[in-house]
Amino acid sequence: MDKIRVTGGNQLEGAITISGAKNAALPLMIASLLTEETLTLENVPHLADVESLIRILTNHGVDYRVEGKRKGQDSRQGRTIEFTAGAIVDTTAPYELVSRMRASFWVIGPLLARMGEARVSLPGGCAIGTRPVDLFIDVLARLGADIKIENGYAVATTADGLVGAHYEFPKVSVGATHVALMAATLAKGRTVLSNAAREPEVADLARCLKAMGARIEGEGSSTITIDGVERLGGARHRVLPDRIETGTYAIAVAMTGGNVLLEGARPELLESALEALRSAGVGVERENGGIRVTRGNEPIRAVDITTQPFPGFPTDLQAQFMALMTRADGTAEITETIFENRFMHVQELARLGAHINLDGQTAVVEGVDELHGAQVMATDLRASVSLVIAGLAARGTTTVNRVYHLDRGFERLEDKLSRCGAVIERVSE
């Protein structure tokens, strides 16, 4: 199994191109199930999760074609992939495929809306909490589906198609909002979703669905109104830049010091995280086509954060920010409110010499003068990258095991960091 070996101490200098967002690409790909015409997605990142979802979609009958590079196109740009669900040949998403990645459960929305039936295995994914599916079941039932859980599968049917309704989410859920949005595009009449997720990836999905002919208003706010249409058609859509990758590299520069331009990054997608970095004493400036992040020799200030749904501080940057706080001048409190078990990086950061005490959903991080390299391992994607970031600033060599977590969500991580001067390599065994 591959490992990443990082030797700390170098400042990061140069430029990093930000990839298309994993968490936008996945629902966009799933939206291709809603039409028999071709959905072309540009800027699709090359990630293990994208490949897993391609396997699931092809199992339902989706054909896909990766477009060749156009003349003058940079090899670092994401791929353009055409998805065509001419005929849905199977409405079952089996355990073997779905258990690897939670987002694959989301096929339930478009399959049900287009075919009137779906049988989807209950999901797996990163081990960051129990992650139930009650909200999906609740909202689809409100749209008229009959849903049962049978032998580990959610089995959904509708006799006469979905019917628009008003649904207020009792809790903000990105995935359940994606699914409700996709399902409602083909429902009869109007659907109003209240307390919907406002994440930029939800708005990106809505923009793509509109290009396919859907009638949607209010995306990006907590109330989304969808007027169902008879059918959707093809479209061409560019995946928005990855705000979590952006924040991760910004934190890496904050950690090591240096000066890096994050090319293609959009500051409005992660204002709360950039604000936390500014409070920590890091230079963050919008620059033509991206964000410039700088830190000189000044100390990192301790900053308390609490994760919240968008536009609050993202849970997907919590582990990385904690890594930064391990080197802060003072004590920071980091509170996780989205997932109940998202502190697995704490004990691994401690192996590098961090001082962190857990108090329920809050981690109290007391900054130390120095981290030192060690063997570490992580059980989820963002936790793994927090260990890489910590390793970049640790004395000596850090080996991060179980790299497959990183490959799920970070495109060419070692390449991007080493181009900026980091000493980092992948070791295959």
User: Which residues of this protein are in contact with ligand EPZ, per CB under 6 A?
Assistant: 23, 26, 102-103, 126, 129, 131-136, 171, 173-176, 315-316, 338-339, 381-382, 409
CA-nearest of 200, 203, 206, 201 to 184 is 206
φ/ψ bin of 425: left (φ > 0), alpha (ψ from -120 to 50), beta (otherwise): beta
Distance CA 90, CA 260 (A): 47
Dist. CA 412–CA 429, nearest whole Å: 19
Least distance between ligand EPZ and beta carbon 172 (Å): 6
Partners of 404 in the beta sheet?
none
Structure tokens at 71: 């003349």
3-class secondary structure, 132: coil
DSSP states of 55-123 as a string?
A: HHHHHHT-EEEEPPPPTT--TTSPEEEEEE-SS----EE-HHHHTT-GGGGGGHHHHHHHHSEEEEEPP
Among 180, 211, 181, residue whose Cα is nearest residue 41: 211
- With tokens 């809306």, the residue in question is 113
Cα distances (angstroms) measured from residue 8 to each of 194, 378, 417: 47, 19, 12
* 241 closest CA partner among 16, 18, 15: 18
In sign, the C-alpha dihedral spanning 142, 144, 150, 154 is negative
Burial class (CB in 10 A: 0-12, 13-18, 19+), 82: middle
Nearer to ligand EPZ, 170 or 330 (CB): 170
- From the candidates 126, 183, 383, 388, give the one annotated as an active-site residue: 126
Catalytic residue flag (residue 126): yes
* Radius of gyration for the chain, computed over Cα atoms and rounded to the nearest angstrom: 22
Closest alpha carbon to 276 in 245, 309, 303, 314: 303
Is residue 288 classed exposed, middle or buried when 0-12, 13-18 and 19+ CB atoms within 10 A define those classes?
exposed
Q: What residues are annotated to the active site?
A: 126
